[in-house]
Amino acid sequence: MVIQCIFEGIVIGSILALIAMGIALIWGVMNVLSFSQGEFLMIGMYITFFLNKKWGIDPILSIPFTAILMFLIGLLIYKTLIRKALKGPILSQRLITFALSMVLVNGMLMLVTSEFRTIQKITFSGIIDFGFLVISKEKLVPLTVSILVTTVLFFFMNKTNTGKAIRATSLDKDAAELVGINTEFSYALAFGIASAIAGIAGCVLAYYYYITPTAGTSFLLFGLIAVALGGFGSIFGAYIGGILMGLVDVFAGVYFNTAFKYVAVCVLFMLVVSLRPKGLFGK
């Protein structure tokens, strides 16, 4: 049972971690708390769903396409909305992303109705039953994908010039401009990447979750908390924050009380930030 809990906790944590990384990136670079990340996740799920319905593409194979498409959608939203919003006060920025999430949810509701859908054609499925541990093959996908994305993102931010430029922009925008970094480009790129990661999270989530326009909303709060738990600006921190929350979620549910499992998550978060106001790995 304990082993099963650990496994399930890490799987759930992986998905939260993917959402959290996108939020962490936007937070770190633009200092905006993005409330629309859950909706990007939802749109990613819909892209996966329609690819699957039309051509029978397995969600795992649709990851590259979804990521690219979400990247472009993210760029579009950045260019039309977020760029203007960044000139306003911080709170307005947050509320604009909140209103954006409302627009996206209800726009999707008008487009595709609220009908609950699920991915029907999954080639990569089945279970391996060890008795003490049941591993569903579908759950290995979020696990591997999240580790891959974290690694790729980590190397991109630390080893490539573009990544370094984004980091420089997040540290000091004016100084970055002085040394010839196109900060506008960095911002757009960061927002696009964050949307793409949300899209990837949507792909892996589609394996077991239902797809409806409001599906992303419930993940948002926990994604946000995971970022703050790990400490912002740290991609690694967001990953650990997500995993930790997944573990707390499952263990609190099984050994404490299912009705109060989210209370346990929230209380843990409040305790951590009370003791370490910048999160576990915050600088």
Partner 1 sequence: MRKFININKYFIVKFLAGLLAAIVLPLFIKTPFPLHVMILICIWAIMGMGWNFIGGYAGQVSNGHALFYGIGAYTCGIGVKNFGASPWVTMWIGVMISMGIAFVLGAPLLRLKGHYFALATMAMAECGRIIFLNWSYVGGATGIDFFDRSKPSWYTMQFTSKYPYYYIFLFFVALILLLTKGLDKSKFGYYLRAIKANENSAQSVGIHTAKYKLLAFMLSAGIVSLAGSLYANYLQYIDPTVVMPLNISMMICLVAVMGGIGTVIGPLVGAIVLTIISEYTRATFSYINGFDLFVYGVLVIIIVLYMPNGLISLFNKKQKNKILTPLEMERK
Partner 2 sequence: MNRNAKIICKYLGISLFITILLGGCTKYNEKQIEHNDYSQDESPISIKESKEETVKIGVLLPMSGAQSKAGQEVKAAMNMFVDIINESTDDIDIPLAQSQGLPNLGGRKIELVYGDLKSADTALSEAERLITSEGAVGICGLFSSANTKTAAVSTEKYGVPLMSEGTSPTLTQKGYEYFFRVFPDDTMYVEDSFLYLVELNETKQADIKTVALVSEDTEFGKNIANVEKECAEKYGFSIVENITYSSNATNLISESLKLKKADPDVVMMSSYISDVILYIKTFKQLNYSPKMIMGQRGGFMTSELFTALGSDAEGLCSTSAWSLDLQIPLVAKLGNLYKENYSDGVDMIADVLKCSTDLYVLCLAINQAGSTDADAIKEAMLNLIYPEDKLFIAGTGFNFNEVGQNVGTSALICQIKDGKYQTVYPDSIKAYDGLFPLPSWEEK
Residues engaged in binding partner 2 (CB under 8 A): 1, 4-5, 8-9, 12, 16, 106, 109, 113-118, 120, 127, 129, 134, 136, 138-139, 208-210, 212, 214, 217-219, 222, 249-254, 258-259, 261-262
- For the bound state, the minimum distance from the C-beta of residue 279 to partner 2, rounded and expressed in Å, comes to 21
What's the half-sphere exposure (Cβ side, CA atoms, 13 Å) at 40? 37
Q: Are 122 and 219 in contact (CB under 8 A)?
A: no
Dist CA 126 CA 220 (whole Å)? 29
Cβ distance to partner 2 smaller for residue 141 or 157: 141
Q: In Å, how far are 116, 225, 274 from 279, measured between CA atoms?
A: 37, 10, 9
**DSSP codes, 182-248:** -HHHHHHHHHHHHHHHHHHHHHHHTTTS-B-TTTTHHHHHHHHHHHHHH-TT-HHHHHHHHHHHHHH
88: partner contacted, choices partner 2, partner 1, none (Cβ within 5-8 A by kind): partner 1
Determine which residue in the list 53, 84, 121, 137 makes contact with partner 1, applying CB under 8 A.
Answer: 84
168: partner contacted, choices partner 1, partner 2, none (Cβ within 5-8 A by kind): none
Q: In Å, how far are 82, 129, 263 from 95, measured between CA atoms?
A: 11, 47, 25
- For the bound state, the minimum distance from the C-beta of residue 118 to partner 2, rounded and expressed in Å, comes to 5
Residue 89 touching partner 1 (CB under 8 A): yes
Q: Which residues bind partner 1 (CB under 8 A)?
A: 27, 31, 33, 35, 81, 84-85, 87-92, 94-96, 98-100, 102-103, 105-110, 113-114, 213, 221, 224-225, 228, 232, 259-260, 262-263, 266-267, 269-270, 273-274, 277-279
